[in-house]
Each structure stands twice: as C-alpha cells, then as structure tokens.
C-alpha cells in the first residue's frame, strides 16, 4: 500500500474526538446492521491461517522490499546475529561483559564439576560443556543475558534416562557413547523444532507443571547430594525420596564420615550465608557468585595440607587435563543404541529447550527486546549438535547463572565468550589442582544452587490463581519426588493436555442482566446488581463452538432455559419468549457447531421461544450465511448488540403479556 | 431457595420495560465500576467444576427433595426407563410400533445375513445380533427411534481388526471366540464410559471426520461386494481400492460368472429404483424398506427352481437353525488373546458408540425429547455385554433402519421388541429356506444400503463452512479408501486433535473500531465502516489466555502495536498512547497468562503506552486481583466497556497532542 492511499484511508477512517463525547447526547435508538465481511478467496484464507500458525512472529518482515544483495546480508545476519550487533559493539559494553563473564565463570566451574556427576560422567565433561556450546551460542543466539552450560535438572534427567539403558560403572565407554548420541539428537530435536517453526509446541508444557517439575527435581538432586555430604560409599541408584532416605538411614551407623560432614556443613552454611547477603542487598550480588569458587579453593587447600583424604574424606581424585577431545566417532549412528539415543535425546532436548526459552523470554521482557523463539531453538540445537561431537553433553541456559550474568551487567553474548575463555584456561592449566577438591564441597555447592529452583512463591501464586494449575504443579512435584524424573515429567505433560481438553469441552456460559443506568449487559453472577429483562433470557457462550463442545453448549442453553422457566412458573410470572444469545466471545464455529445451533433452534421452536443472536463475529456470520442458518432463523433475528436485541424484542413481550 | 425469597429477589431484580427505552434519552456519561464477584469458597469452586465436567446434564435433579422409597423407584426407573414410559403405553402407540417393527424386521433380516459376512462370521450371527441386543436395549435405552442391530461399518471394522490377528478360514473357532471377546470388551468400554460419566470423550471425534470415515467405509464395503456381485471365487483380503480393483480386473477373463452378474445387477437396479421411489414420495417409505426382503424371496425361489447354483451362482448354502446358543465359555478371559480382544473391543465399541449416540441425538432433536448420553451408553454397553454371551457380535444403532423406523411411525422402543420377535420366528422356523439365497443378492442389498452412508451434501456444506474440517473429512475418507479402516480412523482422530490444539494455540485477535452513530466497537475487518480513535489502539483477544497461547497473545499484541505505530509514523500522525484490550471474550486465565500480561505491561511501559483493560469477566477479575496485577497497573485502568475506556482516555490524548 503506498503512502498516499494510507493517508486517504486515514482521513475517512479516523474520527474527530470531539464528536465522540457529543454523540452520546443524541444517541437515538439507532440499530446498526450486522455486517457480512467481504468474501476472502480460499487461497488467501489458507495462506493467512498457515502464516498465523507457523510464522506468527513475521520473520520475513525485514526482508520486504529489499535488494537481492541486501537480502543475502540480512539472511546471513539472521543466522549469525553477532554480525549485526557486533558492528555496534564498543568498549563500554565490553567492560560490562568482561565483569559478568568472569563472575559467571567463577560460578560455573565448580557447578560444572558437580553437575557432570549427576549425569554419571567424569568431572571434565561438565567443563567441556561450558567451553564449546557457549561459543556457538554467542555466534548464533539472540538472547543477551542467557548463560549457557550444563544445568542441574537436565544433567539429572539425562543421567537417569541413560542409566536405565546402560550401567554407567560397568559399561562406562558405552554409557559415554550413548550420552553423546543422546546429546546429538537433543540438538537435532531442538534445531528441527526451530527450522520447522514448530517452536510453539513447547508452549504445551504449562508453567505450573514446569514449576512443580523443577521443584521436585531440586529436591531429588539435593537428596542425591546426601551421598557426598555425609560421605556415604554405598548409595542407592534410585532417586525417589523413600529409597534415598532408607539408604541414608541404614548407613547411619557405619557409613557416615564425620570429617566429611563437618567440611560439608560448614561450607554449606557459608554458601547459604553468601546467598542471604546477595539477596538482602542487590549490590552484593557477586558474593554468592564467587562463594562457590572460594569454597573450592579453600577446601582443596585444606584437604591438601591435612591429607584428610586418608581419613575417609572423598576427593575428586582425577580430572582430565586439556580441552575437549573429538567425540564424533563415539556417536551411534546405527545399531540398537541409535533408537535409545534418539528417545533420550528428544526428551532431554525438549526439557532443556523449555528451560532455555523460558529464561530467554524472562530477560528479554525485562530489558524489552524481542526474541525470536524459533531462531533461538536453531541456535541451541546447533550448539548441542556441535557439542556432541566435542565431548559435551546437553547444555542449555542456566537460570541461576543467567540471573548473575544479568545482575553483573552483561550487555551481549560476549559474556559467554569470556566465560568460555576462562573455562578454556582452566581446562588447559588448572584442572590438576582440583584433584584434592573434596566431593563434599561439590555436594554443598549443588545443594545451595538447587534450592533456588524451589519456587515456593510461584506455587503460592498458582494456588491463588488457578486450583487446576496447582494440581498440575503438585502432581509433577510429587511425581518426581516419590517416583522418578520421568514419572514427574509424564504427569506434567498429561495434566497439561488434560487441561487443554477440558478447556475446549466445557466452555463457560453465563446468563446476562442489564447493569443499572447503562445499556450494558453482563454476567449476573459477577454483577449481582444486574437485572433480568422480563420475557427474555440472555445467554452468553464463552468459547468457539466446535465439535468438542457443541453438544454441551446446546444442552447447557436448554438447561438454563428450563431452570429459568421453572423459576418463573413458580413465581407466577410470564414465560420466556426470546432466547438472546450473546455471540461476542464465539470466535469460530464448525459444522458440528452449526448442527448444534440448528438442533437448538428446532427445540426452541417446539417450546415457542424465539432465537435471537447478538453480535456474531466475522468468521461466524460468514459461516452462518454459508450454511443458510441465517436464512432459516431470519436475518431480522441478528443484532449488533444485546442492547439492540432487547430494545427490539422487549416491547413485543409487553404486548403479549 | 424458597418461593417467597424468589419473589422478593424478582421484584428488586427485574426492571420495568418502560424504563428501558426512556433511559436511553438521559444516557449521561455514567461509568459503572467493574465488579469483583463475591468470593466463592474453594470447596464450592471445585464442586462446581467437577459437576459441570461430569454431571453437566444434572442427572440427579429428579431425585431432589424426594422420600427414600420414591428415590428407590426413581433409581430403578433410571436404569430401566421402560418402567416409566411403559405405564403410559396404549393401543394407539402399539399400532405405530407394530407397523414400524415389522418394517424394520423385513429390512434387517437380509442386511444381517450380509453384514455378518463383512465380519467374516456365519450368516446366522447377524440374525442372533438382531434378536438379543434389541430386547435389552428396549428395557434400558431411552431413545424412541433407534433401531438396534449389526451395522455395515462396525461389521467391516470388526472383521478387519479380527483378521489382522487370526485367519477367519483356517482358525474359524479361535476367530469366533476372539469376536465374542472383542464384543464383550466393546460393551464394557461403552458401559464404563457411561458409568464414569466420561461420555463427552466421544465428542472428540469431529463430525467432519466421521462423515469422511463413513463415506470411505461405504466405498470400501461396496468394493468388497464386487466379489459376490461378479461371482469371483478368488478375491484379495486387502480392503484398499487399489488391491481390490487389481483383484477384480485380473479375474475378469475367467473369474466372473455371467449368471451371477445378471441376477445381481437386475436386483440392484430394482433396489435402487425402490430407493428412488421412497425418496421421491415420503408416503412410499415402505417400498425401499421391504424391497430387500422381496428380492431375497424372489431370487431364492428363482435359484431353487432353476438350480442356478450348479451354473456357478454362489448361494448361502448353510445357515444354522434355532436361536442364539450361549457363548459365555467362548470369551477369552485369560491368555494372549485377552489383550487383543480388549484392544479391538475398545476401538469397535467406541466407533459403534459414536454412531449410536449420533443417531439417538438426531432423532431426539427431531421429536424434541431429551436423551441422557451417559445413560444411553450404559444401555448400549449392557446390551453388547449380554450379546457377547449369547453369540452376538457388536450391535449398535443403524442409521438407515432408524430412519425407516421413524418414518414408519414408531412411538417407543417397542418397535425393537417387535423386530426382535420376528427375527426370533425367522431363526426358529424360516432359516433353512435361505439356503438357496444367492450371495449376489446379498451383495446388491449391501451395496444399495451403504450408498446412503456417502453423505455428499454434508461434504459440500463442510467445504463451505470450514476448510480445515474439509481436510479432516477428506483425510479420513482417502485414508479408508486407499489405506484401510484403521488408517482412516487414525487420521480422523489425529486431525480432530490437531484442530483442538490449533484452536488453543492460535486464538483469533482483532483490532476494533467505533461503528458510526453508536458507542459500539467492533472488528474493523468485519465492519469496514468502523473508525479508529486517534491515539488509541483497541485490541480484542478472542480466547481464554492459557499457557498454550499466552506467549502468542503477548507477541501478537506487540505486533499489532508495532504495525500501527509504523503506519502512523509514515502518515505523520500522533503515536499510540493507550492500548485498550477488550477482554469480553477472555473467559479464563492461568498463571502463564498472568505472566504474559505482566510482560506485556512491562514492554508497554518501555514504549510509553498505557495498558487499559475493558470488561474483564468474572473469573478473570478474580484472578487479576489475586495475582495483584490489578494493583500494579492500577484499578482505574479497568473499565466496564470499551466505550467507557475510550471516553476516559480519549480526552487525555487530545490534551497531549
């Protein structure tokens, strides 16, 4: 559309404001006709639907009206956003990124070593996963605040799923290979969802279910840490609370190591105190961020000089030196394990994606920049695919580290590059120093980290807002705690789907009344002062009418009518003569819905009640015309507003009374 | 609530009609506050939700305020409705039932013999299934028009599913046993859905998908009849159109039997002509109803005297005499076949239920009586459970026979008893006479019967109303025709679900404008004459805001805003200062939805745009208060109507310009 035409349209379309208030005065009973929208052709209609479903974010908008070479540049920039924002990069921004990069690096190194244990992998694999994936993400990702690396929940999930297939101790090599295979397919899953623009599918995991799942996983992870915390050597492989507590209590007499407990609990207190300081005063956000590294250094030094490892304090012992070796040949592309790898990869990839996208969205909203969900998925997927070839396991956005990153004043994804560089230096030069790090410290660090995943404030809010959501949340939580991560996840997904199905089968309906001193008709349950109009029943359907709910709606309408007539009969008042259906919320109808309306119309005719429709929407009026339902009930039975309908019908009731 | 109290409420609540029209005159800018509904307690809330979901039809209403003995009588009557309507039964009604019962019996006997072939069972089993199940249904069912017995589609489905497991020729005994097992579990499925009040689950099969599936099944069944029609002995076991046509054409030279073809095609023409007469003049509805029986009698007599069976015309040969033997011992309650029986039973039972419920509803709407869906399911389930113990296979409501029943003037389920009695007499005395009935006649009868299942008028209507429904319809149709019944069914179910998911992920949204000379704001795409208000963007969300669509809605709102601002900038007009969201259609919100609103609010603040909500509903305002979203945007930002919001905001825009 050219500029000139727009101007003209505007002139005719936009009204003078002054006419707005004055028009109220001479508001004569003017009844506006319900318009039949201009017919769209079929191809346009289908195109619009597909576009709205898959390209709702309009990703091609910047490409419009551009030269071919410009389109190419834009295309490359779309895949590697760093080329775009990199051009405006400057020293001030780098200062912020440097500080935040160093901060998250100091937080991630001890966490990585601990988390790789949750995945039943050697300590170096956590560090590997904090080296390559953040680099790839920095090139392709568009979030400025996310901190990439291994995270607790995904590590636990991956570890649980993998050890269901292979014993990580007896068949360590196969286990490791399957881990890389799963990581590869996790990346493929994520990237495909993005490329096929099916990213909206992850929206099907409801927020409440995710909160419950995360909380449950945090408890499970904390319980697993009791092994390192108490210095127990023989520990159950199950993750449910009953098995773990049994295992802990049965080894109380001879399995616990008091030296370990002393170290672990004193440092846990230190870490929690650091967390408390950080929370109390936002200025000291760096205190909890570097506390873990300090704990590691102090405790390692302490063990080294006292030789506490000879008193039964377990230490890391061996940690590979040097950067990621290639693992391309380790991935199973054939054989039995291929299918298992795909299965585990799809699950772990989806959960990792849910976490990363939630983090990305949260921080994008806080700084008000747009995030292209599908592009993000491609970036995360590519990063995991490349990661799987360089000895990394599934990496994603870490909530705790991203928050630290944000508070430390990160400006762009360069903070991830800084972190990656520090991890690289650590791998090259410092890893041997971690030899004497006690496992108890790692347990304390993980415990203090996962506490943040238990979002009790969100749970309280969920309880207040939506009881069904609360059930979903608790279901996922108890599923993880008393069952396993898989059971919890399954419960979360099932309840999410049940909610969707319930929503479409049992839509809300309401009887409307007139709000005093206005011409507005509203739900009489919400506005008890609203009054009914004699002889009329005004009924609102709060949903599209589809096959899944059409019968319910028809029956519900007849039930409202029967109830109302019983009441009127008892009170000796005149019977209902008009059923006015307020159609504003009815956004769509399908063939089953039209059938239901036709049946309702027939039933009403038998009862001598006229059917009136108020404000059918654009799609609706189109379809009601196409099915010739309008001509069967009569064009004069359709009104623009309930007020118009009442004004027309009400006098007729009075005549007949 | 007592009578007196109701009266009082009415007096205060119902307004005088005369005040209605006059109030328009002094319609001063009165702005009504958005009410916060009275708080419900938690238990009531959950009770209401459960009641609405599972007891939407209020089945216990008649039991209210009744003595204990009366409740018992009502309870027995609820299980056996015949006890209720039986008391008002009289001779006039019986006349109608007698005539219609005889008519449907004459139609069902030849159909039964043919349909049992589709299920790969002996001809007597079809008759058995028209004897016991109709009797049970007459005692327990509440539809007055449905005609019970074997039907074409279910017979075909059952036959296909069973022969996937066991060869019906080589292992005839096991096949028969599995058929009874499947029938038993089909009944159990149907009854459980009814008892657990989960009947609404069958609403998830969309009308369009059912139309497509039925049409495809009709084609498949007709194609199968080519075997009998052409007198082919060697015929493919597959049911897809390609295999069948290959099989037919490859046997053209030596496999066809011309005598058979002559008999089959002449009687088919006779049957189609009878159908035509019945359709042309409703008075002659009995002509197509008795034509099949006449064909059977004439052709049997003809074959008997000409000994055409020696010329290669295949005949029924053997048909068991006597009524249903017990088959209780034939049902597999243990072993491998148990699980298979359950699986087949669940599928066949659900499809049979869908058909029966659709028929019941159609005729109930035509005569305007209420049908309790869940009670119907219990009746149909019980009938099939008892049927499975008396050598019957899955019976359900037949659409063609029910229509004949209705047109013949049936009054109650007694017409089923009459039919059942005639089938009983047939089994006892007449079956041996069917020995010489040529298979070709049965093929012609089935062909002429299934033509009615191809509902091309419905397909045209579906095309007109909803293109997505049309895709579902065609998907199911081609799935059955080119694949198999199972594939078609799978496609139908998947597309139905996809539609539900699409509905909740991508809700419609619209920009509103003011309709000239009114205070009504409507979709500017539907009403091109509607005008925008300068400085305001009015946006309507047409769906509940749930986790599945909350992100989409937030992004969509920002996209409308960006589009509008781009347009205004280009035209040099003042920018948007208020985003008014019309919330009328938003019936519910969950925690994810609240999050999305909060994020939207933050983004708008960054852009200096005020967020205004118009007419949030009862549930919504409750939850917005609970989450303290209202207090964060401010109570004064919520209006009862868009008109009120515009009236308040618009002058402020003018000031700033």
Who among A29, A519, A603 is closest to B365 (CB)? A603
Question: To the nearest whole angstrom, how far is the Cα of A164 from the nearest Cα of chain B?
Answer: 27
Pairing of strands A536-541, A509-514: antiparallel
**pLDDT tens profile A407-440:** 888 899 999 999 999 999 999 988 888 888 888 8
Query: Which structural domains are found in chain A, ordered by start?
Result: 91-501 (no CATH), 506-656 (3.30.750.24)
The band of B15, judged by pLDDT with boundaries at 50, 70 and 90, is very low
**What's the pLDDT tens digit per position in B525-569?**
777 888 888 888 998 888 788 877 888 888 888 888 888 888 888
Least confident interval from A91-100, A123-132, B445-454: B445-454
A515 contacts on B by Cβ (under 8 Å)? 32, 640
The distance of A93 to chain B (nearest Cα, Å) reads 21
| Cα A357 to Cα A22, A574, B216, B593, distances in angstroms | 50, 59, 43, 16
Q: A592 to chain B: which residues are within 8 Å by CB?
A: 206-208
Q: Which pLDDT score, from 0 to 100, does residue A9 have?
A: 38
Structure pTM? 0.71
Alpha carbon of A591: minimum distance to chain B alpha carbons (Å) = 6
Q: Helices H, strands E: what count in chain B?
A: 28, 8
The whole-angstrom separation of Cα A538 and Cα A532 is 8
Contact between A231 and A257 (Cβ < 8 Å): yes
Confidence grade of residue B489 (pLDDT, cut at 50, 70, 90): confident
pLDDT bin (cut points 50, 70, 90) of residue A189 is very high
CA distances from B190 to B196, B348, B396, B603 (A): 10, 10, 11, 52
Q: Quote the CA–CA distance of B192 and B418 in Å, as a whole number.
A: 29
Under the banding of pLDDT at 50, 70 and 90, the label for residue A38 is: low
Specify whether the CB–CB gap between B642 and B584 falls below 8 A. no
Helix (H) or strand (E) holding A632: helix A629-633
Give percent of chain B above pLDDT 90. Answer: 23
Q: Taking CB atoms and an 8 Å limit, are B14 and A499 in contact across chains?
A: no
Q: Give contacts of B618 with chain A, Cβ < 8 Å.
A: 510, 523, 525-526
Distance from CA of A516 to the nearest CA of B (A): 9
Between CA A130 and CA A323 the distance in angstroms is: 11
Instruction: Give how far B599 is from chain A: nearest CA, Å.
Output: 6
SS (H, E, C) B284-297: HCHHHHHHHHHHHH
Going A259 to A261 to A264 to A269, the CA torsion angle's sign is negative
Contact B602 A368 (CB under 8 A): yes
CA distance A97 to A557: 61
* B10 contact residues in A (CB cutoff 8 A): 571, 573
- Does the distance separating the beta carbons of B555 and A57 come in below 8 Å? yes
**What's residue B7's pLDDT?**
40
Q: Which of B207, B531, B546 sits opposite A592 (nearest CB)?
A: B207
What are the b/e assignments for B273-289, b being 16+ CB within 10 Å? ebbeebeeeeeebbbbb
Chain B CB contacts of A7 under 8 Å are 571
Q: Are A157 and A485 in contact (CB under 8 A)?
A: yes
Quote the ipTM score.
0.72
* DSSP-H helix ranges across A324-407: 336-367, 373-389, 399-407
Q: Which of B14, B534, B617 sits opposite A526 (nearest CB)?
A: B617
Q: What is the pLDDT of residues B229-264, one digit of tens each?
A: 888 888 887 888 888 888 888 887 777 888 888 889
The alpha-carbon gap from B571 to the nearest alpha carbon of chain A, in Å, equals 6
Give me the residue from B518, B547, B567 closest to A206, CB to CB.
B547
Number of inter-chain CB pairs under 8 A, A vs B: 349
Kindly determine whether residue A647 and residue B20, on different chains, have CB atoms separated by under 8 Å.
yes
CA B99 → CA B102, B184, B404, B409, B417, distances in Å?
5, 32, 11, 8, 12
φ/ψ (deg, to 5) at B89: -75, 140
Find the mean pLDDT for residues A210-239: 86
All residues of chain A having their beta carbon less than 8 Å from the beta carbon of residue B520 are 32, 640-641
Nearest-CB residue to A365 (from B205, B527, B599): B599
Best CA proximity match to B46, nearest among B34, B54, B58, B38:
B54
pLDDT tens by residue, B172-218: 999 999 999 999 999 999 999 988 877 777 777 778 888 888 899 88
Beta-carbon contacts of B541 under 8 Å, excluding residues fewer than 6 positions away, are: B507, B509, B553, B557, B581, B582, B583, B585, B586
Nearest-by-Cβ selection for A526 from B35, B507, B647: B35
């Amino acid at each position: 559309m050219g500029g000139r035409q727009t101007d003209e349209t505007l002139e005719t379309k936009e009204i003078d404001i002054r006419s707005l208030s004055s028009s109220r005065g001479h508001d004569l009973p003017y009844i506006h006709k319900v318009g039949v929208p201009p017919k769209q052709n079929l191809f346009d209609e289908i195109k619009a639907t597909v576009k709205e479903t898959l390209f709702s974010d309009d990703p091609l908008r910047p490409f419009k009206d551009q030269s071919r070479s410009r389109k190419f540049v834009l295309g490359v920039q779309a895949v590697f956003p760093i080329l775009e924002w990199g051009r405006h990069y400057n020293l001030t921004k780098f200062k912020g990124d440097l500080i935040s990069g160093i901060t998250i690096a100091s937080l991630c190194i001890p966490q990585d070593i601990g988390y790789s244990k949750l995945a039943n992998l050697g300590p170096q694999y956590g560090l590997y996963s904090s080296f390559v994936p953040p680099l790839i993400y920095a090139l392709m990702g568009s979030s400025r605040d996310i901190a990439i690396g291994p995270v607790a929940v995904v590590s636990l999930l991956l570890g649980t799923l993998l050890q269901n297939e292979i014993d990580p101790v007896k068949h360590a090599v196969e286990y490791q290979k399957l881990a890389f295979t799963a990581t590869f397919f996790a990346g493929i899953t994520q990237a495909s969802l993005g490329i096929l623009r099916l990213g909206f599918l992850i929206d099907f995991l409801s927020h409440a279910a995710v909160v419950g799942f995360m909380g449950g996983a945090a408890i499970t992870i904390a319980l697993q840490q009791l092994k390192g915390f108490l210095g127990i050597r023989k520990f159950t492989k199950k993750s449910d609370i009953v098995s773990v507590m049994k295992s802990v209590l049965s080894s109380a007499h001879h399995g616990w190591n008091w030296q370990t407990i002393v170290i672990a609990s004193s440092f846990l207190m230190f870490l929690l105190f650091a967390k408390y300081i950080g929370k109390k005063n936002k200025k000291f956000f760096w205190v909890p961020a570097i506390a873990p590294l300090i704990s590691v250094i102090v405790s390692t030094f302490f063990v080294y000089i006292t030789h506490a490892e000879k008193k039964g304090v377990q230490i890391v012992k061996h940690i590979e030196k040097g950067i990621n070796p290639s693992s391309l040949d380790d991935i199973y592309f054939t054989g039995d394990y291929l299918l298992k790898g795909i299965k585990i990869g799809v699950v772990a990839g989806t959960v990792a994606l849910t976490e990363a996208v939630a983090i990305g969205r949260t921080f994008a909203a806080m700084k008000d920049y747009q995030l292209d969900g599908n592009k993000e998925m491609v970036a995360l997927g590519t990063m995991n695919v490349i990661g799987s070839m360089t000895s990394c396991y599934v990496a994603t956005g870490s909530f705790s580290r991203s928050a630290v990153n944000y508070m430390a004043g990160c400006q762009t994804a360069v903070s991830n590059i800084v972190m990656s560089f520090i991890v690289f230096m650590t791998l090259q030069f410092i890893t041997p120093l971690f030899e004497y790090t006690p496992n108890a410290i790692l347990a304390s660090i993980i415990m203090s980290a996962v506490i943040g995943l238990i979002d009790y404030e969100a749970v309280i809010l969920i309880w207040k807002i939506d009881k069904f959501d609360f059930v979903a949340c608790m279901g996922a939580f108890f599923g993880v705690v008393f069952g396993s991560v898989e059971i919890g996840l399954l419960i979360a997904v099932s309840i999410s789907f049940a909610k969707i199905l319930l929503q479409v089968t049992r839509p809300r309906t309401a009887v409307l009344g007139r709000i005093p001193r206005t011409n507005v008709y509203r739900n009489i349950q919400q506005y008890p002062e609203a009054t009914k109009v004699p002889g009329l029943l005004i009924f609102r359907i709060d949903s599209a009418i589809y096959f899944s709910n059409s019968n319910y709606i028809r029956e519900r309408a007849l039930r409202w009518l029967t109830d109302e007539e019983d009441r009127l009969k008892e009170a000796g008042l005149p019977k209902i003569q008009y059923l006015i259906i307020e159609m504003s919320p009815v956004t769509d109808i399908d063939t089953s819905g039209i059938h239901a309306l036709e049946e309702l119309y027939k039933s009403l005719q038998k009862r001598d009640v006229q059917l009136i429709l108020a404000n059918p929407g654009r799609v609706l009026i189109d379809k009601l015309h196409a099915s010739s339902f309008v001509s069967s009930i009569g064009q004069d039975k359709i009104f623009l507003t309930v007020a118009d309908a009442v004004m027309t019908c009400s006098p007729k009731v009075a005549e007949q009374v």
